[in-house]
Amino acid sequence: MAMTGVLRPGHAQLRVLDIEESIAFYTDVLGLKAAGRDAQGRAYFKAWDEHDHASVILRQADHAGLDFFGFKVLDVATLDLLEKGLQAQGVKTERIPAGELMATGERVRFTVPTGHTLELYAHKERVGNGLGLVNPDAWPDDLKGMAVTRMDHCLLYGPDIDGTRSILEKALDFALVERVKLEDGETDLAIWLTTSTKAHDIAFVRHGEPGKLHHLAFKLDTWEQVLRAADIMSKNKVAIDIGPTRHGVTRGLTIYFFDPSGNRLETFCGGYDWYPDMDTIKWTWDEVGKGIFYHARQLNDRFLSVVS
Amino acid sequence: MAMTGVLRPGHAQLRVLDIEESIAFYTDVLGLKAAGRDAQGRAYFKAWDEHDHASVILRQADHAGLDFFGFKVLDVATLDLLEKGLQAQGVKTERIPAGELMATGERVRFTVPTGHTLELYAHKERVGNGLGLVNPDAWPDDLKGMAVTRMDHCLLYGPDIDGTRSILEKALDFALVERVKLEDGETDLAIWLTTSTKAHDIAFVRHGEPGKLHHLAFKLDTWEQVLRAADIMSKNKVAIDIGPTRHGVTRGLTIYFFDPSGNRLETFCGGYDWYPDMDTIKWTWDEVGKGIFYHARQLNDRFLSVVS
Amino acid sequence: MAMTGVLRPGHAQLRVLDIEESIAFYTDVLGLKAAGRDAQGRAYFKAWDEHDHASVILRQADHAGLDFFGFKVLDVATLDLLEKGLQAQGVKTERIPAGELMATGERVRFTVPTGHTLELYAHKERVGNGLGLVNPDAWPDDLKGMAVTRMDHCLLYGPDIDGTRSILEKALDFALVERVKLEDGETDLAIWLTTSTKAHDIAFVRHGEPGKLHHLAFKLDTWEQVLRAADIMSKNKVAIDIGPTRHGVTRGLTIYFFDPSGNRLETFCGGYDWYPDMDTIKWTWDEVGKGIFYHARQLNDRFLSVVS
Amino acid sequence: MAMTGVLRPGHAQLRVLDIEESIAFYTDVLGLKAAGRDAQGRAYFKAWDEHDHASVILRQADHAGLDFFGFKVLDVATLDLLEKGLQAQGVKTERIPAGELMATGERVRFTVPTGHTLELYAHKERVGNGLGLVNPDAWPDDLKGMAVTRMDHCLLYGPDIDGTRSILEKALDFALVERVKLEDGETDLAIWLTTSTKAHDIAFVRHGEPGKLHHLAFKLDTWEQVLRAADIMSKNKVAIDIGPTRHGVTRGLTIYFFDPSGNRLETFCGGYDWYPDMDTIKWTWDEVGKGIFYHARQLNDRFLSVVS
Q: Does A234 contact C139 at a Cβ distance shorter than 8 Å?
A: no
Tell me, what's the pLDDT at A112? 98
pLDDT at B1 over 80: no
pLDDT at D96 over 60: yes
CB-nearest partner of A137 from C138, C224, C235 = C235
For residues C15 and C41, what is the distance between their CA atoms, to the nearest angstrom? Answer: 12
Tell me, what's the pLDDT at B159? 97
Please name the chains neighbouring D, where neighbouring means 3+ C-beta pairs under 8 angstroms: A, B, C
User: Would residue D169 show up in a list of annotated catalytic residues for this protein?
Assistant: no
CB D288 within 8 A of CB D180: yes
For residues C14 and C64, what is the distance between their CA atoms, to the nearest angstrom? Answer: 7
Q: Compute the nearest-CA separation of B293 from chain A (Å).
A: 12
CB D279 within 8 A of CB D176: no
- Residue D176: exposure state from Cβ atoms within 10 A (0-12, 13-18, ≥19): middle
Q: Compute the nearest-CA separation of D181 from chain A (Å).
A: 20
Q: State which CATH number among 1.20.58.340, 3.10.180.10, 3.30.70.100, 3.40.50.880 fits the domain covering A150-305.
A: 3.10.180.10
CB-nearest partner of B294 from C234, C246, C255 = C234
CB C199 within 8 A of CB C177: yes
Phi and psi angles of residue C168, each rounded to the nearest 5 degrees, phi first: -65, -35
Nearest residue of B to residue A150, measured between CA atoms: B273
Tell me, what's the pLDDT at D128? 98
Nearest residue of C to residue A223, measured between CA atoms: C224
Q: Does B2 contact A196 at a Cβ distance shorter than 8 Å?
A: yes
Which amino acid is residue D84, in one-letter code?
K
Q: Compute the nearest-CA separation of C221 from chain A (Å).
A: 11
Nearest residue of C to residue B239, measured between CA atoms: C296
Q: Biggest alpha carbon distance in chain B?
A: 56
Tell me, what's the pLDDT at D3? 79
The count of other CB atoms within 10 Å of the CB of residue C236 is 14
Q: Does D1 contact C173 at a Cβ distance shorter than 8 Å?
A: yes
Gap between the terminal Cα atoms of chain A: 38
pLDDT band at residue B304, thresholds of 50, 70 and 90?
Answer: confident
Kindly list the residues from chain D whose CB atom is less than 8 angstroms away from the CB atom of residue A290.
Answer: 234
User: Would residue D247 show up in a list of annotated catalytic residues for this protein?
Assistant: yes
Interface with chain B: mutation pick from A198, A273, A292, highest number of B CBs within 10 Å: A273
CB D138 within 8 A of CB C251: yes
Q: Does A227 contact D224 at a Cβ distance shorter than 8 Å?
A: no
DSSP string, chain C: --B-SEEEEEEEEEEES-HHHHHHIIIIIS-PEEEEE-TT--EEEE-TT--BS-SEEEEE-SS-EEEEEEEEES-HHHHHHHHHHHHHTT--EEEEPTTSSTTB--EEEEE-TTS-EEEEES-B-B---SS-SBS--SS-S---TT---EEEEEEEEES-HHHHHHHHHHTT--EEEEEEE-TTSSSEEEEEEESSSBS-SEEEEE-SSSSEEEEEEEE-S-HHHHHHHHHHHHHTT--EEEEEEE-SGGG-EEEEEE-TTS-EEEEEE---B--TTSPPEEE-GGGHHHHHSTTT-S--HHHHH---
Q: Compute the nearest-CA separation of A15 from chain D (Å).
A: 26
User: What is the sign, positive or negative, of the torsion defined by CA atoms of C178, C183, C186, C190?
Assistant: negative
Helix count and strand count (H, E) for chain D:
6, 17
Helix axes B223-235, C223-235, angle to 10 degrees: 100
User: Would residue C247 show up in a list of annotated catalytic residues for this protein?
Assistant: yes
Catalytic residue among C53, C123, C200, C207: C200
Could you tell me what percent of chain C has a pLDDT over 90? Answer: 95
CB A295 within 8 A of CB D234: yes
Buried b (16+ CB within 10 A) or exposed e, A127-153: eebbbeeebbbbbbeeeebbbbbbbbb
Kindly list the residues from chain C whose CB atom is less than 8 angstroms away from the CB atom of residue B227.
Answer: 223, 246, 253
Determine how β-strand C117-121 pairs with β-strand C107-111: antiparallel
Please name the chains neighbouring C, where neighbouring means 3+ C-beta pairs under 8 angstroms: A, B, D
CB-nearest partner of A295 from D233, D253, D296 = D233
pLDDT at B86 over 80: yes
DSSP string, B204-219: EEE-SSSSEEEEEEEE
Alpha helices (H) along chain D: 19-24, 76-88, 161-170, 223-235, 288-292, 301-305
> Which residues of chain D approach chain B closer than 8 Å at the C-beta?
137-139, 141, 222, 224, 231, 234-235
Instruction: Please list the rounded mean pLDDT of every run of 10 residues in chain C (308 residues).
Output: 87 98 98 98 98 98 98 97 98 98 98 98 98 98 97 98 98 97 97 96 97 98 98 97 96 98 98 96 96 92 86
Q: Does C284 contact D135 at a Cβ distance shorter than 8 Å?
A: yes
Nearest residue to C152 via CA among C24, C15, C36, C266: C266
Domain ranges of chain B: 6-121, 150-305
User: Would residue C63 show up in a list of annotated catalytic residues for this protein?
Assistant: no
pLDDT tens for B104-147 read 999 999 999 999 999 999 999 999 999 999 999 999 999 999 99
Q: Does A227 contact D231 at a Cβ distance shorter than 8 Å?
A: no
Over residues D47-55, mean pLDDT: 98
pLDDT at D145 over 70: yes
Which class would CATH give D6-121?
A: alpha beta
pLDDT at D1 over 70: no
Q: Compute the nearest-CA separation of C92 from chain A (Å).
A: 49
Nearest residue of D to residue C178, measured between CA atoms: D133
pLDDT tens for B230-274 read 999 999 999 999 999 999 999 999 999 999 999 999 999 999 999
Q: Compute the nearest-CA separation of A188 from chain D (Å).
A: 24
pLDDT band at residue B300, thresholds of 50, 70 and 90?
Answer: confident
Q: Compute the nearest-CA separation of D25 from chain B (Å).
A: 15
Nearest residue to B68 via CA among B12, B133, B1: B12
Tell me, what's the pLDDT at D304? 83
Q: Compute the nearest-CA separation of D137 from chain B (Å).
A: 7
Please name the chains neighbouring A, where neighbouring means 3+ C-beta pairs under 8 angstroms: B, C, D
DSSP string, B70-132: EEEES-HHHHHHHHHHHHHTT--EEEEPTTSSTTB--EEEEE-TTS-EEEEES-B-B---SS-
Catalytic residue among C153, C157, C207, C214: C153
Kindly list the residues from chain D whose CB atom is less than 8 angstroms away from the CB atom of residue B222.
Answer: 224
pLDDT tens for B9-22 read 999 999 999 999 99
Q: Does A295 contact D240 at a Cβ distance shorter than 8 Å?
A: yes
Which ipTM did the prediction report? 0.96
Catalytic residue among D11, D53, D116, D153: D153
Tell me, what's the pLDDT at B30? 98
For residues D219 and C17, what is the distance between their CA atoms, to the nearest angstrom? Answer: 44
Kindly list the residues from chain B whose CB atom is less than 8 angstroms away from the CB atom of residue A174.
Answer: 2
Tell me, what's the pLDDT at C305? 86
Contacts of C301 (CB under 8 A, 6+ apart): none
pLDDT at D2 over 80: no
Q: What is the mean pLDDT of chain D?
A: 97
pLDDT band at residue D303, thresholds of 50, 70 and 90?
Answer: confident
Tell me, what's the pLDDT at B4? 86
CB-nearest partner of A231 from C139, C222, C231 = C139
User: Would residue B53 show up in a list of annotated catalytic residues for this protein?
Assistant: no
Interface with chain B: mutation pick from C234, C258, C300, highest number of B CBs within 10 Å: C234
User: Would residue A214 show up in a list of annotated catalytic residues for this protein?
Assistant: no
Q: Which residues of chain A have pLDDT under 50?
A: 1
Tell me, what's the pLDDT at C303? 84
Tell me, what's the pLDDT at A4? 86
Interface with chain A: mutation pick from C235, C237, C238, C253, highest number of A CBs within 10 Å: C235
Nearest residue of A to residue D222, measured between CA atoms: A224
For residues D32 and B94, what is the distance between their CA atoms, to the nearest angstrom? Answer: 57
Over residues D281-291, mean pLDDT: 96
Contacts of D47 (CB under 8 A, 6+ apart): D31, D32, D33, D55, D56, D148, D149, D150, D151, D218, D219
Nearest residue of C to residue A137, measured between CA atoms: C235
Catalytic residue among B153, B178, B207, B214: B153
Interface with chain D: mutation pick from A222, A234, A268, highest number of D CBs within 10 Å: A234
Nearest residue of B to residue D222, measured between CA atoms: B224
Over residues D33-61, mean pLDDT: 98
User: What is the sign, positive or negative, of the torsion defined by CA atoms of D254, D260, D262, D263?
Assistant: negative
Domains D6-121 and D150-305 share a fold: yes
pLDDT tens for B180-216 read 999 999 999 999 999 999 999 999 999 999 999 999 9
Q: What is the mean pLDDT of chain B?
A: 97
For residues C205 and C209, what is the distance between their CA atoms, to the nearest angstrom? Answer: 11
